[in-house]
Structure 1
Amino acid sequence: MANLLVLQSVWGLDKCPGFDIENDLDAALERVVAAGFDGVGVNIARVARTAGVARVMNPRGLAWEGQVLVHHADQLAAYIEEAHRLGAHHLNVQVAGPVAYLSDALALVDSLIPLAEAAPLPVWFETHRGRLTNDLLFTLRLLEARPDLPLTGDLSHYPVAGEMELPLRADQLAAIETILKRCRNFHGRVSTTHQVQVAMRAPQHAGWLDQHIAWWRRGFEYWLAQAGSDDALTFMCELGPPPYAITAPDGRELTDRWEEAQDMRDIVRGIWREVNGAP
């Protein structure tokens, strides 16, 4: 039966009280494992940190996501080789951009897709601000031309980049639906019209929490409709440190990011049980 793997971002532990990923990464990772996460995600460009992740996760058979930013095909080829060598579960790719012209975007994507298709591990392309997929309408044009592009859906970026307001318009909902149909992997945080990461349980953000939950549920349904019996869907809780996390005038974060990550993990597993019919 297909299953869900919920990961914790290593970046999401940076400056998080109780964690010291710079000086005691192993202890931080052990705490993530003890909390019941199925693995972590790490930026492969951080060589020492990635080696630490592989050292802790691989012997346990736990999954870890390699994350990279690529500007051209040679970079992606090298990262694929490194991720496979180190034992990554999959590779998550942010493609540099944005670019002004669709023809330029297609040329870049067309140089990357053959490498992804031939890779010895899954390779997915993330929806992200400040990257090739910065603009939702531009991304829709890209997907219209390359409908088989496999995505990592980080939907938190689009409400901010497009200054979306609740209730969302029908065309906005349809646009996100198009994204969800291509998602093979998810990154999670709750965003709003003006902030990319807000306190999930704050009452003023309840509508946006509900919207993101609805998107994740729909994405899981689409994924299950095409998944094989032995496939695994990965979802990474990616609550970032300041300035992603909003801070008070004294510089302290408004919420406990670690508690929120565990809350998100439980929400996501609950959604999975609902859509997968699991007990």
Structure 2
Amino acid sequence: MSQLLVLQSVWGLDQCPGFDIENRLDEALGQVVAAGFDGVGVNLARAARTDGVARVMNPLGLAWEGQVLVHDADQLRHWIAEAEQLGAHHLNVQIAGPTADFRAALRLIDSLVATAKDAPLPVWFETHRGRLTNDLLFTLQLLAERPGLPLTADLSHYPVAGEMELPLRDDQLAAIETILQGSHNFHGRVSTTHQVQVALDAPQHAGWRDQHIAWWRRGFELWLEQARAGDALTFMCELGPPPYAITAPDGKELTNRWDEAQRMRDIVRGLWREVAGT
């Protein structure tokens, strides 16, 4: 039977009350485990954090996502080897960019896909602002030329980058559907037309919260249609510290990110139960 693994971003614990990931990482990871998450995600370039994650998660048999930014295939080859050696469940790749040179973008994707083809762990390419996949329409053109590119869907970036407004147009919904069809991994936060991360339960953002939840649910449905027995879908709660998190004039965040991460975890597990029938 397929399963859902809900992860917590280590970056998402930075500056979070009750956590000290710089000086007491093991304790912070222990809190994540005790709260019932299935693992974490960490930037492999943060070597000390990554070593700590591997030290805590591997003996427990819990999954963790390695995250990297790459400019070329040589960098990806290095990080694949590093992720395997450390015991990562999968590798999440942001591709450097953006660029207006479509042919150059295709050549880069081809080199990265060829490098990842025989990797000993899954390698997925994230939709993200400020990267090769910055623009939704550009990304759709890439996918039209290279169907099957395995994606991590961080859909929070596209409403902001494209200044989408509710209710979404049919072409916008169709565009996100195309992204979801190729998505093997999810990063979660609620964004709006102008903010990349807003309070999960703020009534003024209810429309966007419901839209993101609908996207996650649809992504789960599409993933299950092609999943094999024993496959695992990963969803990482990725509520970032300021400036991702909105702050008041005194610099304090408007919400408790840890509480929100646990609320998001419960939402996505509920969606999974609905679509998977478990």
Identify whether the pair has TM-score above 0.5, normalized to the shorter chain: yes
Matches within 5 A, 1:20-59: 20-59=20-59
Match of 1:84 in 2: 84
Alignment partner, residue 4 of structure 2: 4
Aligned-pair identity (%):
80
For 1:146, the equivalent position in structure 2 comes to: 146
AA aligned opposite 1:203: P
Encode CA deviations 1:142-200: one digit per residue, 9 max, x unaligned: 00000010000000000000000000000000000000000000000000000000001
Deviations for 1:196-235, whole angstroms, at most 9, x for unmatched residues?
Answer: 0000100000000000000000000000000001000000
Q: Which residue of 2 aligns with 1:124?
A: 124
* Residue in structure 2 matched with residue 18 of structure 1 by the alignment: 18
Q: Secondary structure at the match of 2:186?
A: strand
Measure how far apart 1:102 and its partner are: 1.0
Distance in structure 1 (CA, Å) of the matches to 2:116 and 2:39: 22
| Number of the residue aligned with 1:255 | 255
- Counterpart of 2:97 in structure 1: which amino acid? G
TM-score, length-scaled by structure 1:
0.99
1:204 aligned counterpart, secondary structure: helix
Is 2:272 the counterpart of 1:276?
Answer: no
Q: Which amino acid aligns with 1:95?
A: I
Distance in 1 (CA, whole Å) between partners of 2:46 and 2:256 is 25
d(CA) in 2 for partners of 1:172, 1:256 = 31
Code of the residue aligned with 1:31 in structure 2: it is Q
What is the alpha-carbon distance in structure 2 between the residues aligned to residue 42 and residue 117 of structure 1? 23
SS at match of 1:64: strand
Q: Distance in 2 between matches of 1:247 and 1:117?
A: 42
- What letter corresponds to residue 215 of structure 1 in structure 2? W
Q: Tell me the SS of whatever aligns to 1:118.
A: coil
**Pairwise CA distance, 1:115:** 1.3
DSSP 3-state at the match of 1:263: helix
Query: Unpaired segments of 5 or more residues in structure 2?
Result: none
Residue 109 of structure 2 corresponds to residue 109 of structure 1 = yes
Q: What is the identity, as a one-letter code, of the residue corresponding to 1:168?
A: L
CA offset digits 1:119-146 (Å, max 9, x no partner) = 0000000000000000000000000000
**1:248 & 1:76 partners in 2: Cα distance?**
39
Aligned-partner Cα distance in 2 for 1:24–1:60: 18
Count of aligned pairs between the two proteins: 278
> Aligned partners of 1:143 and 1:218: how far apart in 2?
19
Q: Does 1:194 align with 2:194?
A: yes
- Residue of structure 1 in register with 2:265 after alignment: 265
The offset of 1:116, in angstroms, is 1.2
| Structure 1 counterpart of 2:62 | 62
Unaligned runs of 5+ in 1: none
- Counterpart of 2:175 in structure 1 is 175
**What is the DSSP-based 3-state SS (H/G/I as helix, E as strand, rest coil) of the residue aligned with 1:17?**
coil
Instruction: Give secondary structure in 2 for the equivalent of 1:253.
Output: coil
**AA at the equivalent of 2:69:** L
Structure 2: distance between partners of 1:101 and 1:161: 19
Q: Which of structure 1's runs of 4+ aligned residues deviate more than 2 A?
A: none
Instruction: Report the RMSD for the aligned CA atoms in angstroms.
Output: 0.3
One-letter code of the match for 2:121?
L
Letter in 1 for 2:20: D
TM-score (norm 2): 1.00
Q: AA paired with 2:66?
A: G
Is 2:262 the partner of 1:243?
no
